Structure 1
Amino acid sequence: MKKIYYYPLFIFLIVFLADKIACIPVLLESGRRHYKAGQNILLGINPVWNADKAKQSAGSTTVSMFGSSRSYLFHEWKEIPLKENYFSKPIAIETRSVVKASDFLLNYLLIRSMGKLGYKPNLVVLEFSEEMLNEKSPFTFKSKSEELILNSDELVSILPYLEGEGRRNVLFKILFPSYNYHFQPLLAASNISKGKKVEEETLFVEMIALMNEKQPFDPKNVGFPLNSFSPQDYQARIIDYTNQLVKNDILRNYSYSPNEEGAFHATIDYLEKNNIPTVIWEPTVHPYFLAERKKITGGNHFQELKGKYISETSENIRTLSFVQNPLECDVYVDASHVSPVCIPEMADRIFAIAKTIPNFKN
């Protein structure tokens, strides 16, 4: 009977050994899953950081932006007209690090990727949008953690900030890397017999998009002042789009995600530990969508989490909410986005806050 007690251990050792055999590089590269979009961005971002590092060495003040489509509006300005000269050196704003439909986990990983290359920008500008905390959103931690294949260092770094299913899943990936890489033995055998490895058909396409130069916005697509929408445009861009976001997109089946909060917390700790000057900002949205979102989320997560994780005496981090302190620019493209014509005011206010950061040097 005592021998029976050893069976589970024996089975575990067999599985553990099989997993380690699967992690032999030639096997792993022949049988792992194809990388997906977010993975390709992480793999391809290094040339961006190297270029920014060179600009910094040449005397520019470098600003790295991270966020969703609400931050992507900055990508539509090659040069932003500022009211004041906030910096003593030429400014280089990096927007290729902004990923539409991004989440706290992807932003955390992108920020860490700079440090791996020994690059620290003069300023990080990080977006906080409440929808990023929705566990049921198609673009948050649960979906990204399933999409991304992280290395052991990345998995170990995020583990202490997670709980529940997210923590168990990451721990299992650490213990069994073949699970992390979605290893398929039959695929590996087939590819090895043909002398092939898993091909990355999507990598080139993703990198073309990532490396694009800033594109000026089309003057025809600047949107409308708050009270100047036609009835048809208001219905389509504000009411219908709000309904779509609430029912089928970033606010669908809203459920607060402690693991999204954990990824945000991990980001704060990384920025503080590495003394990276940062402005964390909350974008505004159209008042109609703002009211609907508040009914769902409560509308106060930014204030709660910054109070929980960011010290008022921080030497590195400052915050700014355009929800609490609205823009004078009241032009909107749709329910979820202000117009790109609002970017100069947003940049002025973000950079004015940046100058108050004790560790900010330009």
Structure 2
Amino acid sequence: MGLYIWIVNFNILAKKRERQKFVAFLIPVIALSAYLIVDKVFLIKPLRDKLAAYLPYTENFLPLINNDDLVELDYINSKNVFLALGTSRSIAFNGFPNPGYTRKDPFLTPQIAHKMENWEGISIAMAGASMRLIYARLLQTLEKGWEPDFVVVEISMMSFNKNGKFKEFLKQNVIPLDFALKHYKELGLTAVWNILYPRMFLSYKYQFSPKNFWRLLQGDDRDWELTFFGLAGGNGYESVSKKDRKNLESGNFKDYNILTLGKSPAVYKEKFEDLLFVIKQEAGNTYMVDPEELEYLEKTIALLKAKKIPTVYLRPRVHPILNNYERIESNWAEFETKVLDTLQRSDVHYVDANELPMKCDYFSDASHLSRRCYTELSSFLLPVR
């Protein structure tokens, strides 16, 4: 009888342990399944835009994402072609200089205008681009077998900012995975992993933000962030195509100088003061150069030197209200000792367009020089003086 009771108790205990093991196995499975289900919430765009710590704005980078061909080469009318790399501040190089407008540009001497007629640019710049994205697009371009006569590489402070609000998103979501795997030696294994891992876990990719979740519950929106990405529709960001020669050569510009802004305080507030506020918000509290972005600058320098393509590294001309902010002692010291020092040690040609004796003083907004000034600007960069 005692043996029977022992056997029964043993069986009960064994079944209990089996249930415990099953529950112990089931709990992490349920937890993982629940996480993966919640993780897929980020597939729903309205929720993703509200909850993500980094708003997706890949539209600015479609040429890189799609590895677009250089179709603008089909519309070149000049003997020499330069390549412009950078952010939205370099997009206008795709249209200016062009021979038709160069001949009548009031800011050029006849001698300079005659030399500039031989030059046009191809811009592969992308609004908001970091240095790693600029480098990746350069790789794509040179891989197509075309080499320009000259290269202009934009060196904007924001392209190196480690504390930029959308820095991590740019590292993870723009460079195509197949391109990254193909060029793992050039980009680095860390960069490839940064691109691969977020594609498996969306909450990591979009960086779920409890703060934004609370804002969503309270009914708050993200006005300033949407404003920042909405800048792509502004005059300074519009794409420029050589296909529309008539429009490029017409000289119709929507821009402002000191005289016109003095008569339009509302315009100055909207396009200059308010835009500066947005830029400060995106930049973060403290400007700090990202060592990884600095590494991609070095890669860019090495690649262009290996190709033996004459290159100038350009800090773009911006309105004084923004230039003064960038030249704040703490900001400038970080930029100068990291980025500019790298350029100096690499023995490359660097130009700060804010220090050029340019006659054209028109701006589209605080962050963008007017297109009407890009022909004169190019004359200081290209070998024509």
Which letter does structure 2 place at the counterpart of 1:152? L
Q: Secondary structure at the match of 2:268?
A: helix
Shift of 1:252: 5.9
| Counterpart selection for 2:183 from 131, 149, 154 | 154
| Structure with greater helix share of residues | 2
* 1:282 and 2:309 correspond: no
Task: Give the structure-1-normalised TM-score.
Answer: 0.63
Which has the bigger relative contact order, CA under 8 A and spacing at least 6? Answer: 1
Shift of 1:123: 0.8
Give the conservation status (yes or no) of the 8 Å contact 1:126–1:280. Answer: yes
| Counterpart selection for 1:237 from 271, 275, 279 | 271
Shift of 1:329: 2.3
Give the conservation status (yes or no) of the 8 Å contact 1:139–1:250. Answer: no
Give the alignment of 1:113-262 within 5 angstroms.
113-138=140-165, 140=167, 142-148=168-174, 149-150=176-177, 151-159=180-188, 168=190, 170=191, 172=193, 179=197, 182=200, 213=243, 216=248, 219=252, 221-225=254-258, 228-230=261-263, 231-247=265-281, 249-250=282-283, 254-262=287-295
Shift of 1:269: 1.2
Q: Are the structure 2 counterparts of residues 293 and 259 from structure 1 closer, same or farther at C-alpha, using a change threshold of 3 Å? A: same
Indicate the larger mover: 39-48 or 104-113. Answer: 39-48
What is the match of residue 198 of structure 1?
A: none
Which letter does structure 2 place at the counterpart of 1:289? L
Q: Are the structure 2 counterparts of residues 183 and 275 from structure 1 closer, same or farther at C-alpha, using a change threshold of 3 Å? A: farther
Indicate the larger mover: 38-47 or 116-125. Answer: 38-47
CA distance in structure 1 between the aligned counterparts of 2:325 and 2:117, rounded to whole angstroms: 43
In structure 1, stretches of 5+ residues that fail to align are: 1-33, 160-166, 185-208, 357-362
Q: Are the structure 2 counterparts of residues 227 and 55 from structure 1 closer, same or farther at C-alpha, using a change threshold of 3 Å? A: closer
What is the match of residue 136 of structure 2?
A: 109
RMSD of equivalent CA atoms:
3.7
CA distance in structure 2 between the aligned counterparts of 1:240 and 1:267, rounded to whole angstroms: 34
Task: Please tell me whether Structure 1 or Structure 2 has the larger radius of gyration of its CA atoms.
Answer: 2
Task: Give the structure-2-normalised TM-score.
Answer: 0.60
CA distance in structure 2 between the aligned counterparts of 1:93 and 1:87, rounded to whole angstroms: 14
Which letter does structure 2 place at the counterpart of 1:242? L
Percent sequence identity over aligned pairs: 18
* 1:92 and 2:124 correspond: no
Report Cα offsets for 1:187-229 as digits up to 9, x if no partner. xxxxxxxxxxxxxxxxxxxxxx797735538846121236843
What is the match of residue 64 of structure 2?
A: 42
CA distance in structure 1 between the aligned counterparts of 2:144 and 2:331, rounded to whole angstroms: 38
CA distance in structure 2 between the aligned counterparts of 1:303 and 1:246, rounded to whole angstroms: 21
Q: Secondary structure at the match of 1:221?
A: coil
Indicate the larger mover: 274-283 or 214-223. Answer: 214-223
What is the match of residue 348 of structure 1?
A: 379
Q: Are the structure 2 counterparts of residues 89 and 210 from structure 1 closer, same or farther at C-alpha, using a change threshold of 3 Å? A: closer
Shift of 1:287: 1.6
